Structure 1
């Protein structure tokens, strides 16, 4: 038993070391070392390392690997607050001008999309170029909130906010309030997909953090600044790509399994789509504040009316 335990532990540690050494953390330290070598700042350290005995060289190498792994773990502690910053949860005076810019694009593209859609609904034929434009605009609009007041200053924030607000718009359910309760009612496969999608998003945010930190090597060489900026831009683009399936899965969870929430809480399901939004708003209000407009009658035991 113990042999298998240590074997599995060793395999897990080896996997983590490889992941960090060849991931953003390893690239950060390797890039800094290369810049120091180019500038001639690291040559005394290299000479000292080569003059060490084989055992000491091995010890220094292990210490360096441990440092890379340890720094990666420290950066992971800041992934969530960094994600919030990338979404655009900033100080209000700072975010307002960026939200205004987003709102201008939002209004312009929604108006153009509606104009093309209206033309199509009226029976007028769209050109091939207009059909492609309508598809692109509808895709873009889908990644932004329906309400102007829900806009955030960044594309990543708007993408996640749109999916977060969708259950409230359709069903009256506040995703922030209801998510923790719904999570326990989801099938295992969907939960695994959600965890995998969120992990992918977190990895992109972590990569952005290392790109931001790479700017610190600017004191070694000015080349670190353009490299860091390109790194950050690519990581942000990848984060937006990863956020799309994650947000879609959250929306899917409400689309397919929201009635499980009503059943688990003993609330009657909405009778039809027309009354569902009001039911969802009442349920969200109860879960958040514990308030009810009128008492809820819970169903009796199985077999009882």
Structure 2
């Protein structure tokens, strides 16, 4: 029994270590490869030979130190994932205000032009297949960005902000304020999907960080620079937007399908229709955020 217990515990720890430290291990193995390219295999062969001739306790200590160092670097990068994601979303420091303003102004002009084009296409009675495809594309672009007065300078930020703004526009709920409350009443399956999607986003951001650090190995081989830059562009331009879009869709779906659970949990009467919901949404947000209750509020207790 104890053997099975420790075996199962060891398997879970190994899985956890691989999940957290896998990208870090790839990074450091890439560093070893860069060292081999710049200095040849002979130094590595000598090191491996020296370790193989050492006593077993010494070998275990060296392996443990190496694994601990890999894990520590993985944890350090994971702690940086959220600040880096904020930068990728377009929440840039004040000294980049000019760049931010120019980028937002350009996106604003593009959004206004695309909205005008969509309205023109919507007025066409007999649209061609090309016009229909263009209209669908424009509608998709509009869905992935917030109102034009709240644009951020990056498409990742605009996609995330669009997901945060949708509950306010549709239901009067401030997603940032009520998200913690909604999370507690979501079904377990929904929370599992959201957690998996957000974890995938964080890991992709960690991949961006590791790739950006890879050019440090240029001290051994200049190939580390193009490899690192290529990996950053691949993850940031192709992989990360897909993951962010999936997470944003799930956040919006959580509000679309489960927002009334907030009313029930707070013992508020459910709104009778969309117009009433737009009136009650801000009041429920203020109630959950500040404890401000509208005059005459009566709780709806379950019987």
TM-score over 0.5 for the pair? yes
Shift of 1:181: 0.7
Q: Which residue of 1 aligns with 2:176?
A: 176
Quick one: distance in 2 between partners of 1:143 and 1:283? 26
2:20·2:75 contact (CA, 8 Å) conserved in 1? no
2:39·2:220 contact (CA, 8 Å) conserved in 1? no
Quick one: distance in 2 between partners of 1:211 and 1:49? 27
Q: Compute the TM-score of the two structures, normalised by the length of structure 1.
A: 0.88
Q: Which residue of 1 aligns with 2:285?
A: 284
Residue deviations 1:154-195, cap 9 Å, x none? 111111110111000000000111111111111111111111
Quick one: distance in 2 between partners of 1:221 and 1:107? 47
Matched, 1:103 2:108: yes
Quick one: distance in 2 between partners of 1:270 and 1:240? 35
Residue deviations 1:214-270, cap 9 Å, x none? 122233332222111111111112111011121111111111111111111121221
Q: Which residue of 2 aligns with 1:257?
A: 258
Residue deviations 1:86-106, cap 9 Å, x none? 111112415222222222222
Q: Which residue of 2 aligns with 1:242?
A: 243
Q: Residues 296 and 20 (structure 1 numbering): CA distance in 2 closer, same or farther, change over 3 Å? A: closer
Shift of 1:37: 1.5
Quick one: distance in 2 between partners of 1:299 and 1:31? 60
Q: How does 1:74-223 map to 2 (within 5 A)?
A: 74-92=76-94, 93=97, 94-119=99-124, 124-145=125-146, 147-223=147-223
1:20·1:68 contact (CA, 8 Å) conserved in 2? no
Q: Residues 48 and 253 (structure 1 numbering): CA distance in 2 closer, same or farther, change over 3 Å? A: closer
Quick one: distance in 2 between partners of 1:19 and 1:181? 29
Quick one: distance in 2 between partners of 1:85 and 1:235? 15
Quick one: distance in 1 between partners of 2:4 and 2:74? 27
Residue 11 of structure 2 aligns to a residue whose secondary structure is helix
Q: Give RMSD over aligned pairs.
A: 2.2
Unpaired runs of 5+ residues, structure 2, are: none
Q: Which residue of 2 aligns with 1:64?
A: 66
Q: Compute the TM-score of the two structures, normalised by the length of structure 2.
A: 0.89
2:88·2:156 contact (CA, 8 Å) conserved in 1? yes
2:36·2:44 contact (CA, 8 Å) conserved in 1? no
Q: Residues 46 and 268 (structure 1 numbering): CA distance in 2 closer, same or farther, change over 3 Å? A: same
Q: Residues 131 and 110 (structure 1 numbering): CA distance in 2 closer, same or farther, change over 3 Å? A: same
Quick one: distance in 1 between partners of 2:182 and 2:20? 34
